[in-house]
Amino acid sequence: DTAVSQTPKYLVTQMGNDKSIKCEQNLGHDTMYWYKQDSKKFLKIMFSYNNKELIINETVPNRFSPKSPDKAHLNLHINSLELGDSAVYFCASSQNTPGADNSPLHFGNGTRLTVT
Amino acid sequence: DAKTTQPNSMESNEEEPVHLPCNHSTISGTDYIHWYRQLPSQGPEYVIHGLTSNVNNRMASLAIAEDRKSSTLILHRATLRDAAVYYCILPGRGSTLGRLYFGRGTQLTVWP
């Protein structure tokens, strides 16, 4: 009964390929996020969706395209993968939108993407 | 946006209390102080948050200075499982309202 689950856990691929990471939350939350943690361990917000609508896009290259088929799912599709995309990608969810209140974020355990 | 400053690393022995400091001198009157931690190979985990008064929950206590320019996360009895990176965060303001930006955090090592 994992709250926020991501698949796959590991993803190894070559430059130029297109790949997707899936995320699902069973907490009934309205808002979902993608964060990226690079090799220096900095954790940066990428996107956020609230009830299937994009509310945050932190100047991420347009090779990254999030898609939210329903409020329990937020997938991340990456086109033309580059070496610099290698990182751990975390999905998260919260009850409300950022700023609406201080509802905590619940994170998944990450997807380690390695681009060779 | 308000920034936070934390020591890069701290150490503790098992079963001893741990006080993790955070400075946030540019905090505004409505900024909540949030703490998360990240255990090895896991996603960040919410610990606690507070505005003015000291806060307690099953994981930790948060002591907030009277002028709110600093706070301390208190783990009452450290366990090996508490070894993690602890992040002190102030949510964004204005166009980045409510967003959580994670800094480097404090790497806590717990010795048996």
Token match 């998360």: residue? Answer: B36
- Mean pLDDT for A93-101 is 83
Strand-pair partners of A71: none
Contact A107 B43 (CB under 8 A): yes
Contact residues, chain B, for A35 at CB < 8 Å? 102
Q: In what order do the strands lie in the sheet with B55-56?
A: B18-23, B70-75, B61-64, B55-56
Residue to substitute from B8, B100, B101, interface A, most A β-carbons within 10 A: B100
For A41-73, the pLDDT digits (tens) are 889 999 999 988 998 898 889 999 999 999 999
Pick out chain B residues at pLDDT < 70: 1-2
CA-closest candidate to residue B35, choices B77, B93, B75:
B75
What DSSP designation does B25 have?
A: T
- Whole-angstrom Cα distance, residue B35 to residue B28? 17
